[in-house]
Chains A and B, each alone.
Chain A
Amino acid sequence: MVRLAATASPRGWLPRQPRKRVPRTTTTRTLISSVQLNRPRGKIIYRIVLTLVIVVFTLVFIGPMYFLFTDGLKSTQEAISTPPTLYPHQIYPGTYKAAFDRLDIAQLMWNTVYYAVGALVFQLIFDVAAAYSLSALRPVLGNAVLFLMLATLMIPATVLVVPQYVTMVNLPILHLNLIGTPEAIWLPSVANAFNIFLLKRFFDSIPRDYLDAAQVDGASRTMILLRIVLPISRPILAVVSIFGLVAVWKDFLWPLLAEYGYTPTKETLNVGIWQASQETPQNLIIAASAMAAIPTIVFFLIFQRNIMAGLTAGGIRG
């Protein structure tokens, strides 16, 4: 939380200077000095530690994922053999095909994308508008609203699943049953105090003069938001968007309640695979899990810089 201002300030975004590549070794010193490392003994120890770390980390983090992807290529016989085979001796793509058809991965994946993108759109529209209002327009009772919103950060989401579910079954005043509809995932995602906090803080740091000047030039409030605030806020919007997508993609309990059992064709990947795991051969499940993992891995590899920067900018989201 403390780190936020440093990583994501509007000034940091505006003048985009080409970054000079500084060799990593000459930057800040860490626990062990470069001098120490450059001694012959230090060099040897460093080499050993480095190799060890790379090997161990690769085994620990890639190892399980290696089996995730290759065991789906083994035939059932080979997958359950002891000792396990290190690589599929016989490539058997039939497992992937069978898993894809039986679990209807395409449908599940589409559902998940649909929920995630929809939730993102709702969050961007409502949370950005609210943060803009609280930051720049400052309505009566604005601070009270902000306080009430931030107070919900203290109450963990999982504690509220039961009343949330009951509310969703019969929405007060409107008397709608939203269970099984995409709105059951989209709308609660807007009630995210962390988004409001991040966005408002960022908007607060935009110099008032920009907004005043635009107002003098006759821009409406919506115009100021769209033409001035949003372009400056790209870094924080990226953070909010990425975490918005990932949150829906990773959520389990709420989609389980909101979409499970009622309309099976509307389950998310997580819930769908879990449900199928109870009555499907395990190697099909592994193949399905691998397929479910591919989009997130690709997404991560593409946006890894933003995700990792956002992690520190977004403070500590857990």
Chain B
Amino acid sequence: MADVATAPRPLAGRRTPRQRRGGHLVPKVQRNVAAWGFLVGAVLCFSFFSWYPIVREVIMSFQKPVYGGGYAWAGWFNYNAIFHDPTFWIAWRNTLEFTLLALVIGFAVPFCVAILLNELRHARGYLRVLVYLPVMLPPASALLLFVYFYNPQYGLFDDLLRIAHLPTSQWVFQPGSGFISTAMISVVIASTWMNMGGATLIYLAALQNIPGELYEAAELEGAGLFRRIRHVTIPQTRLILIMLLMLQVVATMQMFVESFVLTNGGGGVGDNTLSVVMLIYQYAFEMSGASNYNIASALGVVLMVVLAIFSGGFLWATRERS
């Protein structure tokens, strides 16, 4: 290997510029045929399972099913239908609530944990494995465990509250539809426990790339602990923080499995943990007899547009100013 790398480029292997520019059509065609041969499998999969569904979703959202099969043009009918469905607004409100709570808990906690872990000189490997372990569990396992903990009759959490002589809670099935509801907080707790490992480890890697001299300089200037975090740690990890913030918002807006498993597919008392993706699922597959892929597609398009506007706006707002 090393010989190859240091040897002068063999002349015979280089095409002269004249040859490359035109003239020899056959090798060019051959090269393209070979290249497309390598490419075709992935391109077919992308076409069928990614590009086509994107287009199809938009088309379907403007269609309605016709009795006897097939679809007909429906204009804005599906969009009208979802905008007039009260559940639509409940689902959006819940999703925003989840996103907000997940950010307060799920964004700040991993960052603080990462800072803490980065300071420790012992047991680093152990703690890292610990934090990441729940991420590896199958989500159904982790969430069904929380279903068991949250059970009002014999669940661990209520048992602990009873031992402490505190009023018990219904957790995910706690009625009430205030903006910050107990039910949603219960979902966020389970979700954070399951998911925080990934973000923590990414922050940890970012923290380890901060040059030590910066802290030293800050310390010499007399900056205390919190000012060092404020003026060294955060600016130095800014890029990662921004990227993760965006990805986390996009991910939490698509929350499905947490609420779905914890509330047994129902969406909580009075739909107070029903998310937008759950509503898509319900529109498409769970309205016995009245399932409607087109209405579900319209909701999918709305979610897609919202997420696109959010990510675009976010990237624009945080772009590097030069």
B293 interface residue (CB < 8 Å to A)? yes
Contacts of B32 in A (CB 8 A): 139-140
B1 interface residue (CB < 8 Å to A)? yes
Q: Is the interface of B mostly helix, strand, loop or mixed?
A: helix
Contacts of B219 in A (CB 8 A): 33
Closest to B296 in A: A162
Contacts of B72 in A (CB 8 A): none
- How many residues belonging to A are interface residues under a CB distance threshold of 8 Å? 115
Residues of B in contact with A, size category: 35 or more
Q: C-beta contact mask, A162-182 vs B, less than 8 Å → 1, else 0?
A: 111111000110000000000
Contacts of B38 in A (CB 8 A): 129-130, 132-133, 137, 221, 225
* C-alpha gap A289/B147 in the complex (Å): 12
Q: C-beta contact mask, B85-120 vs A, less than 8 Å → 1, else 0?
A: 000000000000000000000000000000111111
CB distance from A72 to the nearest CB of B (A): 10
The answer on a CB contact under 8 Å between A50 and B198 is no
CB distance from A137 to the nearest CB of B (A): 4
Q: C-beta contact mask, A55-81 vs B, less than 8 Å → 1, else 0?
A: 001101110110110010000000111
Q: C-beta contact mask, B27-53 vs A, less than 8 Å → 1, else 0?
A: 000011011111101110110111111
Given the interface contacts A29-B216, A289-B144, does A81 sit within 8 Å of B53 by beta carbon?
Answer: no
| Chain B positions 1-47 with a Cβ under 8 Å from a chain A Cβ | 1, 4-5, 7, 9-10, 12-14, 31-32, 34-39, 41-43, 45-46
Contacts of B212 in A (CB 8 A): 28-30
* C-alpha gap A282/B141 in the complex (Å): 12
Contacts of B202 in A (CB 8 A): 311-312, 316
A300 interface residue (CB < 8 Å to B)? yes
Contacts of B14 in A (CB 8 A): 212
Q: C-beta contact mask, A98-138 vs B, less than 8 Å → 1, else 0?
A: 00000000000000000000000010011101101110011
A87 interface residue (CB < 8 Å to B)? no
* C-alpha gap A126/B41 in the complex (Å): 6
CB distance from A88 to the nearest CB of B (A): 14
The answer on a CB contact under 8 Å between B300 and A162 is yes
The answer on a CB contact under 8 Å between B248 and A163 is no
B81 interface residue (CB < 8 Å to A)? no
The answer on a CB contact under 8 Å between B60 and A82 is no
* C-alpha gap A26/B142 in the complex (Å): 39
B185 interface residue (CB < 8 Å to A)? no
The answer on a CB contact under 8 Å between B132 and A307 is yes
The answer on a CB contact under 8 Å between B138 and A269 is yes
Given the interface contacts A126-B41, A133-B35, A160-B53, does A292 sit within 8 Å of B13 by beta carbon?
Answer: no
Most chain-B Cβ atoms within 10 A of its Cβ — which of A32, A139, A278, A292? Answer: A139
Contacts of A250 in B (CB 8 A): 138-139
Contacts of A44 in B (CB 8 A): none
Given the interface contacts A161-B280, A311-B198, does A129 sit within 8 Å of B42 by beta carbon?
Answer: yes
Q: Return 6 A-B CB contacts under 8 Å, by A number.
A: A28-B208, A33-B219, A53-B120, A134-B39, A148-B51, A304-B132
A49-B120, A277-B140 given; name 19 further pairs at CB < 8 Å: A2-B240, A28-B208, A30-B119, A64-B146, A125-B41, A126-B42, A127-B42, A139-B36, A149-B42, A156-B250, A158-B254, A160-B53, A162-B293, A172-B48, A188-B49, A271-B140, A274-B140, A289-B144, A316-B243
The chain A residues found within 8 Å of chain B, CB to CB, are 1-3, 14, 24-25, 28-33, 37, 46, 49-50, 53-54, 57-58, 60-62, 64-65, 67-68, 71, 79-84, 122, 125-127, 129-130, 132-134, 137-140, 142, 145, 148-149, 152, 154-156, 158-167, 171-172, 187-188, 190-191, 193, 196, 207, 209-210, 212-213, 215-216, 221, 225, 246, 249-250, 252-253, 257, 269-271, 273-274, 277-278, 282, 285-286, 289-290, 292-293, 296-297, 299-301, 304, 307-308, 311-312, 316-318
